[in-house]
Amino acid sequence: MVGIADLGIGNFAAMAKMITQLGGQPRRMTSPDELPSASHIILPGVGSFDFAATVIDQRGWREPLLKLLSEGNRPLLGACVGMQLLVDSSHEGHGTGLGWIPGECVRIEPPSGSGLKVPHMGWNQVTPTGPSLLFPAGPEAVVDERFYFVHSYRVDCVDPNDVWATTDHGGPITAAIGRGQVMGVQFHPEKSHRFGLELLRRFLAIQC
């Protein structure tokens, strides 16, 4: 069973449809008590970091999630704000992330005169930094994997080894991060058609 955490910040229907297409069994998890029943866990997210961090605390998700991450026996994927929650903090507000992957979210600032806008919105190519659980073949095998982005803040990781892929919007922007079985993508796989479907296929294939 693939547990999709209902934090009030994600598009459950679109993500569940993708999982079903891949032969998985999606389940909306409305309580952290349901975490142990899932083989794979997805933290979807739209909106602001602060709101998401507040919801995690108010609904009692923080400690159960940290316990699960420390056990290291279930793959977890954060998408968009769900990825940002994996790091320590964000310049978007004063909320506290899960801090599993050291780093912070900072506002995207395209170079002056570039004509690029914030938020970074639309399709963009993603380049893996090396082989990983989400991009097992590494950068040399990726010809044109494009994903759909909508975000104004980017993740800066303390350890460059935690960056699994980048994209470009007036300079390199972290597109995917990971440490062990815990990983995140800044884009929306559920809105990325066949590319998102293939990435979710790779995620569901991870066995602990």
Q: Among 120, 151, 169, 188, which one carries the catalytic annotation?
A: 188
In the chain, what are the domains?
Answer: 2-204 (3.40.50.880)
Q: Judge whether 94 counts as a catalytic residue.
A: no
Per-residue pLDDT tens over the stretch 121-138: 999 999 999 999 999 877
What are the structure tokens assigned to 150, written together? 């909508």
Q: Is 80 assigned a catalytic role?
A: yes
Query: What's the rounded Cα separation, in Å, for the pair 53 and 95?
Result: 6
Q: Is 188 a catalytic residue?
A: yes
40, 80, 104, 157: the catalytic one is 80
Digit-coded pLDDT (tens) for 143-170: 577 899 999 999 999 999 999 999 999 9
pLDDT higher than threshold 90 for residue 107: yes
CA dist 196 and 15 (Å) reads 10
Over range 81-91, report the average pLDDT: 96
